[in-house]
Amino acid sequence: MNYSTSLSEEKKQQYQERFLQEFPYATPQEQALLTSNIGFKILKKGSYFLTSGTVQTAMGYVCSGLLRRYYVNDKGNEITTGFIQEEEFATDYPAFLRQQPTQHNLHCLEPTVLITLPFPIIQESYSSSKNSERHGRQIAERVLTILSDRVEGFLFLTAEERYLKFLKEHPNLSNRISLTHLSSFLGIERQSLSRIRKRIAQS
């Protein structure tokens, strides 16, 4: 997208309507609670939505753009644990639920627009509505399944299988991320990943 420091009301409405589609069972009252409390966050490429050591006070939902989730290991290396693109939730969900400092960073690889929903509003909606509890469970399942799939990939798939699985599940991401970030996410040395890509291209 063309980067801007502001959003038109038309664009806000468009993003809001798409966000509300994530809550198909919400009543008009529940939708009103959501829409009256959401905010919009516009971030430049290279900036952060969340940094290690901070407490995430609002859930993020990516309207446009791309973020990389990573942590820094004891050797000082950045380990990529995921990519968050349009129509996905930007969060370290376990730390967010506990309102504890995260160990992850959410770094914008592209100019990014997010909808934000404060933690207290989410908790209020859970306590007042069974529908909201259901939505929250579904969001949690989506986020945690992504993390679980990555761990299982390390356990049961070869390096080449992990790469092919990534291409199949995220066909539009390979040209939006660097080979360095992808190799870190897949747990493959950059040179090894280059050889795998070359071998696949020649087959």
Domains by residue range for the chain, with CATH? 9-123 (2.60.120.10)
How high is the pLDDT of residue 139? 75
The string of pLDDT tens digits covering residues 10-19 is 999 999 999 9
The string of pLDDT tens digits covering residues 112-133 is 999 999 999 988 887 776 676 7
Distances (CA, A) of 85 to 17, 22, 68, 145, 172: 18, 15, 9, 16, 10
User: What residues form DSSP beta bridges with 113?
Assistant: 42, 64
Q: Which of 26, 21, 52 is nearest to 115 (CA)?
A: 21
Token output for 97: 């639920």
Is the pLDDT higher at 140 or at 60?
Answer: 60
